[in-house]
């Protein structure tokens, strides 16, 4: 008796057979091993949806690109924004056919805006510009 002679000693409680033999194993499995299991599973569980999404996006991208390449009629066209302004201007000017433009103007009835000029007016203008009179006569 520890402190009181009136209080009975002993442990009246019982436990199932082999309880304490199995107890530590169960505690370990619910703490340490459970933690390890979560870690291993966590990697797999976390990666799986991301991998699925990444694979889907990759497949869609490849299919879209292939479709555009195969079925686009202007697959070699270059965007205008990719051409420098100077190069673009030269290209346009080189491609304009002045004779075609004049013909189109005549066909569409655009009036000739050049004023009626007299031969005498031309000679006066050239003399004013100090052009040699002999040269003028040769040209005329």
Partner 1 sequence: MNKGFRLVVERYSTRLYWHIRRLVILHEDADDALQNTFVNAWRNISNFRNESSLYTWLYAIATNEALTLINKRIRNSAISLDDLGSWFANSTEGSTWFDGDEAQVKLQNAIIRLPEKQRIVFNLKYYDEMTYADMSKVLKTSVGALKASYHHAVKKIENILSGI
d(CA 117, CA 98): 23
d(CA 37, CA 33): 6
Which CB atom, from 28 or from 55, has the smaller least distance to partner 1?
28
**HSE value, Cβ hemisphere, 13 Å, CA-based, for 31:** 6
Could you say whether residue 100 binds partner 1 (CB under 8 A)? Answer: no
Candidates 3-11, 39-47, 65-73, 82-90: pick the segment binding partner 1 (CB under 8 A).
3-11
Could you say whether residue 111 binds partner 1 (CB under 8 A)? Answer: no
Binding-residue total with partner 1 (CB under 8 A): 23
Compute the chain's Rg from CA coordinates. Answer: 50
Which CB atom, from 3 or from 116, has the smaller least distance to partner 1?
3
- What is the x/- site pattern for partner 1, positions 35-74, by CB under 8 A? x---------------------------------------
d(CA 116, CA 139): 19
Q: Which residue has the tokens 């201007």?
A: 89
Q: For Cα atoms 75, 76, 79, give the angle at the middle one, nearest 5 degrees.
A: 100
Long-range contacts made by residues 93-98, C-beta under 8 angstroms, separation at least 24? none
In whole angstroms, the minimum distance from the beta carbon of 44 to partner 1 comes to: 21
Could you say whether residue 18 binds partner 1 (CB under 8 A)? Answer: no
Residues making contact with partner 1 (CB under 8 A): 2-4, 6-8, 10-16, 20, 23-24, 26-28, 30-32, 35
């Amino acid at each position: 008796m520890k402190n009181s002679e009136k209080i009975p000693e002993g442990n009246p409680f019982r436990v199932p057979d082999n309880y304490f033999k199995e107890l530590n194993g169960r505690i370990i499995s619910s703490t340490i091993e459970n933690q390890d299991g979560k870690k291993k599973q966590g990697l797999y569980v976390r990666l799986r949806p991301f991998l699925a999404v990444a694979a889907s996006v990759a497949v869609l991208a490849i299919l879209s690109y292939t479709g555009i390449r195969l079925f686009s009629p202007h697959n070699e066209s270059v965007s205008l924004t990719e051409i420098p302004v100077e190069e673009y201007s030269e290209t346009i000017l080189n491609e304009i056919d002045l004779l075609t433009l004049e013909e189109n103007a005549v066909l569409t009835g655009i009036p000739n805006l050049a004023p009626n000029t007299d031969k005498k007016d031309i000679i006066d203008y050239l003399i004013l510009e100090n052009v040699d009179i002999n040269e003028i006569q040769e040209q005329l």
